Structure 1
């Protein structure tokens, strides 16, 4: 049915991005698996690893049929399987839960960019299996008491409309700010948890990288995540809302080379993209919160740009598929003629 239908730019972009992400996930999860001890967590990480591998195999089949160059992505030499353990079992569980959340957002986006039925079928299945993985990790987090629940607030007893533009205010220090609403609390809570995980990953990458420039980049990322964490925590505490108790997401004191600098830089870049997406969708109608999210997004964007510069400098940044420059083709044709 699809043999004579060429891939669109949306499908090419989705498959390339998906392949890069799953290639990275495959090796990180395989590394984590070798040191896990918790019998409840091992099957979950194993299942996540198998999902990544099955996705890669499916995409390779599509690439072969379409004569589509397989991305270089990541290989066995990008991870040191002999390195000592780096992450606690609970960290690995929380990591899989977070990456499943990122994956659900990505797959739903990929699905909307694709029109060919076989590609849509693949992303529909990938979205469903990733949602199942997310639910399984969350169930285990709850069983082990390592999932920080969102705060409880009073259930509304009646519906109402906003009656004043003061509802949007928040910047004027002389005006009293209205209380945070449920939507704003939820996003603040989520962003605290994601920054906590990102901070620990940056620490682990900084202490195991042999490259001074990468070390400094990761330490800077740790400080940015810590600053954002404090800001979000403070906003909740000012409202007498208990900030989430971050579960055990510790890393060991190993300084042994574990992941390639290329993979670590890509990983942090992926997390930053997800983080900026979280900030962009963090619905808020209080002006001080809107301004904070905008300011923090710009800070993350600047940090991300410095990471891209490092990757280009060291030839770690794989180029996405692109269209041909018509002007260049014309000039090259003239030279040949």
Structure 2
């Protein structure tokens, strides 16, 4: 029997993370569904909500079978369904497309870390669903002309090889920098798009939070996202690579508390960790040293932001602790006290 095989630490971590992410997403998507008017976009939002809800039901069933304590995650108390509309409809489709990217990266990692066949099957199916959702959102964005499209370059007509070590370096101010290659361009532009979504979410969350420290954190996140997007854009413009117009994914002027601070802070921690992962990939695949260094220093800036966010969450008891190994030394000491 499959469930006679104990869950590994990786499977426990993956299931916990998946539940937390889906419970957060379900609440945001439920609010979007309550307000969205665009009849082309609404079915995609409905699909996203149905997927998140079904995932939560399946995960609870797995937890029950394994006598695994169900995480608190997020629920009805974390969203005010009567709050005014916070986002534009175009934001909703861009948000789903972006979170689809985050989801595909997460689920592919969960599949690769899972040993039990039933857990791998669950995450494989979730990956397929998320991929289909991403394709749906991409199709609507393209049809509506609101997709942020990667820059065009000429298709290669011949094969070439690197003939100098200078290809890997760009620090000499007295020598010409080589042009960006296609791999570097793709990651730079992807991170422009990611920071654009993050910037808009920070603005929205700053507007609706009743706590000054959360507002300040979100505004700091907005400034960092704006700064990073400009750095990546400037890198592209140095080679006269035009960045296509970023989709108009604005937010309304509502200041009514819509989502709990706990949910918003968790959401930003998810986006920051995703961004750090994107930067690490960009650094690893970029063959120009100056770009890799940029990614590394900007990752450090994101890490500092993440730490300040975690401090706020700990202060207010919002940070749910992931499953872990028992502190054996503490157990022994507590036994002695008793």
CA–CA separation in structure 1 for the residues paired with 2:327 and 2:316: 26
**How far has the Cα of 1:287 moved from its partner?**
1.0
Unaligned runs of 5+ in 1: none
Match runs of 1:169-248 below 5 Å: 169-248=169-248
**Is 2:307 the partner of 1:309?**
no
SS of residue matched to 2:3: coil
8 Å contact kept, 1:10–1:114: yes
RMSD: 0.9
* 1:301-320 CA distance string (max 9 Å, x none): 00100000000001000000
The alignment of Structure 1 onto Structure 2 pairs a total of residues equal to: 336
**How far has the Cα of 1:244 moved from its partner?**
2.5
Q: Which of 293, 296, 306 is equivalent to 1:294? A: 296
SS of residue matched to 1:252: coil
1:320 paired residue number: 322
1:278 paired residue number: 278
1:76 paired residue number: 76
1:254 paired residue number: 254
* 1:36-64 CA distance string (max 9 Å, x none): 11111000000000000000000000101
SS of residue matched to 1:259: coil
**How far has the Cα of 1:335 moved from its partner?**
4.3
SS of residue matched to 2:321: coil
CA–CA separation in structure 1 for the residues paired with 2:204 and 2:173: 40
* 1:63-98 CA distance string (max 9 Å, x none): 011111100010101001110001011100000000
Unaligned runs of 5+ in 2: none
2:99 paired residue number: 99
**How far has the Cα of 1:238 moved from its partner?**
1.2
* TM-score, with structure 2 as normaliser: 0.98
The range that moved more, 168-177 or 84-93, is 168-177
1:329 paired residue number: 331
1:162 paired residue number: 162
CA–CA separation in structure 2 for the residues paired with 1:121 and 1:275: 27
CA–CA separation in structure 2 for the residues paired with 1:75 and 1:196: 27
* 1:173-196 CA distance string (max 9 Å, x none): 222100000000000110000000
1:11 paired residue number: 11
* TM-score, with structure 1 as normaliser: 0.98
